[in-house]
Amino acid sequence: MRNFSLHPDVVWVDRPDGSVRLIHLDGNTCSLDAASASLLRSILKHGIDHATADLISSFSVHSHEAHADVQCYVAVLDKQRILRNFQHSTAERLKKRAAIGLVSRALDVADSPSLALEKRARRLLFVARWATLQFGWSATYSAWNTTYPQPISTVASHAVQLAGIDEVVRDAATQSLLKYECKERALACLALARHVGFPTELILGVAFNPMRAHVWVESGDCIFSDDPEHCRTYERIALSSRLGLPVP
């Protein structure tokens, strides 16, 4: 029986050598070597008992020692908010659904196309900060996609208009005392660009040695919400294809 799943705010990144980087989008990161990653896959797919039996079989480890090692391993990942127990998953799903509703409602109240672009940017940044602090990244990102879905009737990305959105959001972030970071800027840019009709993707960038992460927005070939040259120093991961999905 499966006991644990990845926390919904964690992105799993495979490396060529078989190791794994686990990135919690609230800031925590975790590096696992190939053996540890294999053990975690087994825990996520089959549960602790099956993973422990595999460990005993593969390495001829004494039973009680293997159980203690796996329990300690799981406890560390649980403390780092990499894993979550299935016993709490139903309650968490209900909480997330309620959070998405609250954030979507806050966006409906705060953001109006009749407002000046500068005022919309300030409000979007504030809701993004409030939502991520209150409900975490996964619920905030889901609420954003609910309120600002990918446009059905899209228009070709226009670099000048995207640069204008980028400039307004950056100015609003710079002038605020709240010190908004890349995630808030990216969410604000995504909302404003999708409203215009630009197909827009939220991107997670990962860099190694040292391990660090970054978030920005792309529309077609255009990178905005941050400096394109800075963003290109990171390995690019589309969040829509990775966030909240089970481990392969």
pLDDT digits (tens, 9 = 90+) for 234-243: 988 877 654 4
Query: Does residue 247 lie within any of the structural domains?
Result: no
d(Cα 180, Cα 126) in Å, to the nearest integer?
9
pLDDT of residue 245 exceeding 50:
no
Query: Does residue 121 lie within any of the structural domains?
Result: yes
pLDDT at 239: 72
Same domain, yes or no, for 62 and 139?
Answer: no
Please tell me the least confidently modeled range out of 4-8, 92-96, 164-168.
92-96
Same domain, yes or no, for 53 and 167?
Answer: no
Is the backbone peptide bond immediately before 228 cis, with ω within 30 degrees of 0?
Answer: no
From 61, 87, 113, the end of a domain falls on 87
N-to-C CA span, the chain: 18
CB 132 within 8 A of CB 183: yes
Model confidence band, residue 247 (pLDDT cutoffs 50, 70, 90): very low
Same domain, yes or no, for 158 and 183?
Answer: yes
Same domain, yes or no, for 132 and 42?
Answer: no
Tokens of residue 187, six digits: 């969410």
Same domain, yes or no, for 101 and 212?
Answer: yes
Model confidence band, residue 230 (pLDDT cutoffs 50, 70, 90): very high
Model confidence band, residue 102 (pLDDT cutoffs 50, 70, 90): very high
pLDDT at 1: 56
pLDDT of residue 163 exceeding 60:
yes
d(Cα 178, Cα 34) in Å, to the nearest integer?
40
Q: Which residue type does 165 have?
A: I
**Phi, psi torsion values for 160, nearest 5 degrees:** -65, -45
Say how many C-beta atoms besides its own lie within 10 A of residue 73's C-beta: 19
Same domain, yes or no, for 45 and 138?
Answer: no
pLDDT of residue 144 exceeding 90:
yes
Q: Which residue type does 34 have?
A: A
d(Cα 49, Cα 43) in Å, to the nearest integer?
8
pLDDT (mean) for 12-18: 89
Q: What is the largest CA-CA distance in the chain?
A: 68
Same domain, yes or no, for 224 and 128?
Answer: yes
From 56, 87, 118, the end of a domain falls on 87
CB 144 within 8 A of CB 191: yes
Continuous segment of H or E residues that includes residue 238: strand 235-238
What is the extent of the structural domain holding 61?
A: 4-87
pLDDT of residue 244 exceeding 60:
no
3-state secondary structure of 18: coil
Buried b (16+ CB within 10 A) or exposed e, 30-57: bebeeeebbbbbbbbeebbeebbbbbbe
pLDDT of residue 155 exceeding 80:
no
Percent of the chain's residues with pLDDT above 70: 91
pLDDT (mean) for 115-131: 95
How far lies 96's CA from each of 3, 58, 89, 102, 152, in Å?
20, 39, 10, 10, 26
| DSSP-assigned letter for residue 217 | E
Same domain, yes or no, for 176 and 209?
Answer: yes
pLDDT at 94: 80
Number of structural domains (the chain) is 2
Indicate the average pLDDT of the chain. 86
User: What is the tens place of the pLDDT at every residue in 29-73?
Assistant: 888 999 999 999 998 888 888 888 888 888 777 888 888 989 999
pLDDT (mean) for 181-191: 95
pLDDT at 89: 62
Same domain, yes or no, for 51 and 116?
Answer: no
User: What's this model's pTM, rounded to 2 decimal places?
Assistant: 0.81
Query: Does residue 248 lie within any of the structural domains?
Result: no
3-state secondary structure of 181: coil
Same domain, yes or no, for 98 and 78?
Answer: no
pLDDT at 246: 38
pLDDT at 158: 82
Token pair 């705060």: residue: 110
d(Cα 28, Cα 8) in Å, to the nearest integer?
13
Q: Ramachandran region of residue 4, left (φ > 0), alpha (ψ -120 to 50) or beta?
A: beta
